[in-house]
A and B are shown apart, each in its own frame.
Chain A
Amino acid sequence: MTNEKNNHLKSVALKVREHIISMSVGGGCFIGASLSCVELMVYLYAEFLQIDKNNLSDPERDYLFLSKGHDVPALYGTLAELGFIDNKRLENHLKTNDSVYWHPNRSIPGVEFHAGSLGHLPAVAAGVAYDCKIKNQQNRIVVITGDGELNEGSVWEALLVANAYGLNNLTIIVDRNQFQANIRTEDLIPLEPLADKFEAFGCHVTRIDGHDFDAIEKALKSLPYSNHKINVVIADTVRGKGLPSIEARADRWFCAFTPAEGQQLQNELHTNIKAEIKSETLIVR
């Protein structure tokens, strides 16, 4: 990747993070999981997915399914920065005059399917991948899952079936940010060795730094990895990436900041001067 392209993608990612911080003020959002998948989302939409924003129902398009729906602020921000939706629409976050809420839904142009309940979209995506396959179409179907989401048996069930039908047009990207809600995955339901698990289910696995655009490009450019296996990209990421004051902290999961804190966080994003956060966080365990 050229420096110019890398810098451009970084500048888009920075804008997306600004949007995410904005959405964490007031009603709040799942800021940590949104910040961890920004580079993935930006690269997918800016460089990888063949989706014409003026022809969103093109049957030849690529598909992105956001299975860990609570990181949708990263998707909203990306869709806004790339012109799928108007930037102004993000101001409607959690307002009744629009449908910009904590989980994705199809009234947002570019969102292929609603999510929120974890472990659903691998199966939905497998259905789409199957149809593309039997029509001999070249669409690429990408699913982003969380790592905590992999607790759901339905993810593995869908992999069994997708493997049986050789769906190599299906790619699962795991946002491996090491946390589920307010706890480390490895302290609750350990996932490692994760690549081995996917391989045992018939997947071809690659593991990358999910914040490195070069690594993301390398992983996605070589798809499909084989002529019959499901592709899996385990993207190692940091929850809360970009804001050192909340990075990799178990308590910074769902956050609703005050406007002043939001301003400090915007400042932190650009200057690395740590924000002083006093708002209590939602702790579910």
Chain B
Amino acid sequence: MTYEELLIKTAQDNERIIVMTAENRALVRNVSKTLGNRFIDTGITEQTMIGMAAGLALRGRIPIVHALAPFLTMRAFEFIRTDVGIANLPVKLSGYIPGFLSDGNGPTHQAIEDIALMRGIPGMEVFAPADENDLVKMLPAIWQSTAPSYVRINHKPTSFKHQPFEMGKAEIIAKGADVTILVYGFLFEEALKAQEILEEKGIATGLINMRSLQPIDESIVISSAINSKMMVTLEDHFVTGGLYSIVAETLLKNRITADVQPIALNNQWFKPALLNDVLSFEGFTAEKIVEKIETKFHENLKRTYA
């Protein structure tokens, strides 16, 4: 099932749902045919779309709104925070081409602070599915929740079959006594390959698909810190405010010290290019991830036995 098929089916079953877009129809090309006036295209007006969504929610509707992730989360940030956040209205945000997925567009289109911004809004739920299969497994629960939410949309088809989704729970792909990789979103695929290579190299490596960034699965973060020698947070997001920060906050709150290595964008925009070239240039391919983890892991071992 695709995102759009699920969206149409969900909206057909629930009259309260209104589908909106700020003239970004990539995910919702066929919705107007089925939903008629329950589909609203507001044009290139992220702020107005969010304001209207709040108004529709006041009338008992559940607006599922679409726009490019950077313009949704940044152009309309104050509308999300003030109209949706303060009133805690069930407005469901779908951010398209987040992170590296904006490939050749350049920094204007790079949503690499979206997790930091959205999780800073009280009551906002924040999700990042690994691929299309993960996305459609997660969405029913996300849309059923009465809270506002932001989903970093990733609908890339892969052959991976994910486990059922439970609100606020991460997906454990593998456990490892040496290293645990915590990842979300599109980089899951690279992380999965990296985990296999590291295992082949004799480094026992765990892999967690975080799925939900807010609420965070604290028990997974804590058990990873306790049960492996090193943790890696892997994300196509600034190192500030994303998963690395979340893990740091979680461990500090629980008075746990751990060796946590971030693989993230070190507060700089990424090189605009085709997606595979971006990954390679910025060092986020499975091979580059393995290299970084292996080097750090062996450095740590040396330090331990020095």
Residue positions of A touching B, CB distance < 8 A: 59, 106, 112-114, 117, 120-132, 134, 154, 157-158, 160-161, 164-165
Contacts and interface: CB of A to CB of B under 8 A. Distances in A.
Nearest to B61: A131
B128 interface: no
Max chain B C-beta neighbours (<10 A), residue from A113, A124, A126: A124
Contacts of A122: 51
A220 B37 CA distance: 28
Contacts of B59: 59, 127-128, 131-132
Contacts of B47: 123, 154, 157
Nearest to B81: A117
B34 interface: no
Given A112-B58, A131-B55, A124 B83 contact: yes
Nearest to A153: B47
A127 B56 contact: yes
Contacts of B87: 106, 113-114
Nearest to B38: A134
B51 A123 contact: yes
Given A154-B47, A157-B45, A161-B42, A128 B58 contact: yes
A117 B86 CA distance: 12
A120 B84 CA distance: 11
A160 B45 contact: yes
A96 B198 CA distance: 58
24 contacts: A106-B87, A113-B58, A113-B87, A120-B83, A123-B47, A123-B52, A123-B54, A123-B55, A123-B79, A124-B58, A127-B54, A127-B56, A127-B59, A128-B55, A129-B55, A131-B59, A131-B61, A132-B59, A154-B51, A158-B52, A160-B48, A161-B42, A161-B43, A161-B48
Given A114-B87, A154-B51, A161-B45, A127 B58 contact: yes
B45 A126 contact: no
B166 interface: no
Nearest to B57: A127
Contacts of B61: 131
Nearest to A119: B47
A124 to B, nearest CB: 4
Contacts of B48: 123, 126, 154, 157-158, 160-161
Contacts of B51: 120-124, 126-127, 154, 158
Contacts of B37: 134
B55 A126 contact: yes
B50 interface: yes
Contacts of B52: 123-124, 126-127, 130, 158, 161
Instruction: Give 9 nearest A-B pairs by CB, closest first.
Output: A127-B55, A123-B51, A127-B52, A131-B59, A124-B55, A128-B55, A127-B56, A123-B48, A134-B37
A112 B18 CA distance: 21
A112 to B, nearest CB: 7
B50 A123 contact: yes
Residues of B in contact with A, size category: 20 to 34
Nearest to B86: A114
A158 B42 CA distance: 9
Given A113-B87, A120-B83, A158-B51, A128 B56 contact: yes
Contacts of A126: 48, 51-52, 55
A165 B37 CA distance: 10
B81 to A, nearest CB: 9
A125 B55 CA distance: 6
Contacts of A127: 51-59, 63
Max chain A C-beta neighbours (<10 A), residue from B38, B43, B59, B87: B59
A142 to B, nearest CB: 13
B258 to A, nearest CB: 40
A157 B76 CA distance: 12
A59 B56 CA distance: 12
Contacts of A157: 45, 47-48
Given A127-B63, A131-B55, A154-B79, 6 more contacts: A114-B87, A126-B48, A126-B55, A127-B58, A131-B56, A157-B45
A164 B52 CA distance: 13
Nearest to B78: A117
B82 interface: yes
B55 A120 contact: no
Interface in B40-96: 40, 42-43, 45, 47-48, 50-61, 63, 78-79, 82-83, 86-87
A164 B43 contact: yes
Max chain A C-beta neighbours (<10 A), residue from B40, B48, B78: B48
Interface string B249-270: 0000000000000000000000
Contacts of B86: 114
Contacts of A161: 42-43, 45, 48, 52
A74 B52 CA distance: 26
A192 B68 CA distance: 36
Contacts of A112: 58
B22 to A, nearest CB: 10
Contacts of A130: 40, 52, 55-56
A161 B40 CA distance: 10
B24 to A, nearest CB: 15
A164 B53 CA distance: 16
Nearest to B40: A130
A126 B53 CA distance: 9
Nearest to A135: B59
